[in-house]
Structure 1
Amino acid sequence: MTPQERSRPPMTLVYDGQCPMCRQFVRLHRLRRDVGDLELIDARQESTARRELSTLGIDLDDGFALRIGEHWVHGSEALHHLALMSTGSGLFNRLMARLFASPRRTARLYPWLRAGRAMLLRLLRRGPIDNLRR
Structure 2
Amino acid sequence: MDEITAKGLDIDQGMVLRMDDRLYYGSDAIHALALISSRSRIFNRINYWIFRSRIFSVWFYSILRFFRNQLLKLLGKTKINNLELPNNQKF
Counterpart-to-counterpart distance in 1, 2:7 and 2:25: 11
Matched ranges for 1:78-93 at <5 A: 78-93=29-44
Identical pairs, percent: 38
Deviations 1:46-95 (A, max 9, x none): xxxx1111111011011110111211010000000000011112211110
How far 1:128 moved relative to its partner?
A: 1.2
Counterpart-to-counterpart distance in 2, 1:63 and 1:73: 10
Gaps spanning 5+ residues in structure 1: where?
Answer: 1-49
Counterpart-to-counterpart distance in 2, 1:63 and 1:81: 14
One-letter identity of the residue aligned with 1:126: K
The partner residue of 1:125 within 76, 80, 83 is 76
Matched ranges for 1:2-81 at <5 A: 50-81=1-32
Higher strand content, 1 or 2: 1
Q: Secondary structure at the match of 1:66?
A: strand
One-letter identity of the residue aligned with 2:77: R
Counterpart-to-counterpart distance in 2, 1:86 and 1:52: 25
Q: Secondary structure at the match of 1:128?
A: coil
Gaps spanning 5+ residues in structure 2: where?
Answer: 86-91
TM, length-normalised to structure 1: 0.61
Partner of 1:39: none
Ranges of 4+ aligned residues in structure 1 off by more than 3 Å: none
Q: How big is the alpha-carbon RMSD for the aligned residues of Structure 1 and Structure 2?
A: 1.1
1:114 matched to 2:53? The reply is no
Counterpart-to-counterpart distance in 2, 1:86 and 1:70: 18
